[in-house]
Amino acid sequence: MKKILKSLCAGMALAAAMSLVSAQEVVTIYAPDGRIAQIYESDLEAYKAVGWYDNFEDTVQTVYAPDGRSETHFKAEIPAYLAVGWFENRDDTLAVIFDGKGNSALIYLAELEAYRAAGWFGHPLRVDPARPMVSLTFDDGPSLSATPVILDVLEKYRVRATFFQLGSEVAKYPLVTKRACEMGCEIGTHTYSHPNLAKLSSWDIASQIRTSSAEISLACGSAPGLLRPPYGSYNDTVKAAASMPLILWSVDTLDWKTRDTQKDIYAVLSSTKDGDIVLMHDIYMPTAEAVKTIVPELLKRGFQLVTVSELAAAKGYSMSAATAYSSFR
């Protein structure tokens, strides 16, 4: 009797222990290198914290080759693909080329050299001409306040903008300008000290452009190819003295006047169309705050955010000196 009781007790203890185990849900988890493990659900967060996933789909990523091939691999292998020239975004594999007779084509990067050898010209514009696009432009900077915030947003969403900068400010903050260049943004000149060019002599106009271009060259390693005249003010003397295209705008946010984030957002989102050039200023924090909403919303609406030169090229324009442009459609 005593013996039976003892084994009964042992059995009950075992059953109790088993019910403890079964109360712990077992889940399957996946490492970024393809390993699979089964763990108690209570340990899930700890595994996730060190990079495991509870969805198999999360462990893989698709990468794109310059010739258009795509492959899906475990995330742990992705850096090795990027290191040999593959891309995370399909758009990055594309280039736009032109034959100079009004014809353009969208090709893969891998084909670019062959087309160039055949007399076409083009760049890895990372722009798809078939999709809508817009250029955000920022005047009067660089600044130490708004410009870095705007660059952070552009970097986060992997998009580009054009900055029309003052030589006087580039001289103060050359590293801000350098960062913008290195991110693939375009730097145009907005003169050295923001005068009304229409009131200056040809010599003074040329001097404003020469001195500001020198500062931009020092910061970026290349001279600007576009001028935005302060106040949008120009005449024939300005056009002749500029010796580069003049870039105006088709969407005016009036951010310098309102200094109001919500109004900036509304000004852009209520009217921006394919081919527009949007005017803002990277010296006001309300503008920088607005950019945090404007960029993701334009992307959501299918716009590509490109530089002014990319926009012109993708729309089939070859810009000429002494000509003013306010949009490219």
Task: State the catalytic residues.
Answer: 139, 281
Q: What's the one-letter identity of residue 102?
A: G
- 183 vs 152: CA distance, rounded Å: 10
Binding residue count for Ni ion, defined by CB under 5 A: 3
Residue closer to Ni ion (CB basis): 133 or 136 = 136
Smallest separation (angstroms) from Ni ion to the CB of 263 = 19
Of 49-57, 222-230, 271-279, 290-298: span binding Ni ion (CB under 5 A) = 222-230
Q: Which residue of this chain has its Cβ atom nearest to Ni ion in the complex?
A: 139
139 is a contact residue toward Ni ion (CB under 5 A): yes
186 is a contact residue toward Ni ion (CB under 5 A): no
289 is a contact residue toward Ni ion (CB under 5 A): no
Smallest separation (angstroms) from Ni ion to the CB of 109 = 36
Of 23-31, 90-98, 106-114, 134-142: span binding Ni ion (CB under 5 A) = 134-142
Smallest separation (angstroms) from Ni ion to the CB of 265 = 21
Q: Kindly report the backbone phi and psi dihedral angles of residue 199, in degrees, each rounded to the nearest multiple of 5, phi listed first.
A: -100, 0
Query: Which positions ≥6 away from 87 have C-beta within 8 Å?
Result: 63, 64, 65, 66, 93
Smallest separation (angstroms) from Ni ion to the CB of 191 = 8
Residue closer to Ni ion (CB basis): 188 or 245 = 188
255 is a contact residue toward Ni ion (CB under 5 A): no
Residue closer to Ni ion (CB basis): 137 or 307 = 137
Query: Which positions ≥6 away from 140 have C-beta within 8 Å?
Result: 164, 165, 166, 169, 190, 194, 281, 282, 283
- Tell which one of 230, 246, 260, 291 touches Ni ion (CB under 5 A): 230
140 is a contact residue toward Ni ion (CB under 5 A): yes
Query: Which positions ≥6 away from 279 have C-beta within 8 Å?
Result: 137, 139, 249, 251, 252, 253
Q: What is the DSSP letter of 169?
A: H
CA distances from 70 to 81, 86, 93, 223 (A): 11, 9, 10, 37
- 128 vs 303: CA distance, rounded Å: 10
Closest CA to 289 of 172, 116, 171, 150: 150
Residue closer to Ni ion (CB basis): 197 or 241 = 197
Residue closer to Ni ion (CB basis): 139 or 282 = 139
- 167 vs 164: CA distance, rounded Å: 10
Of 47-55, 100-108, 223-231, 240-248: span binding Ni ion (CB under 5 A) = 223-231
- 125 vs 164: CA distance, rounded Å: 20
Smallest separation (angstroms) from Ni ion to the CB of 89 = 33
> What is the Cα 244 distance to its own chain's centre?
25
Residue closer to Ni ion (CB basis): 168 or 293 = 168
Residues of this chain that interact with Ni ion (CB under 5 A) are 139-140, 230
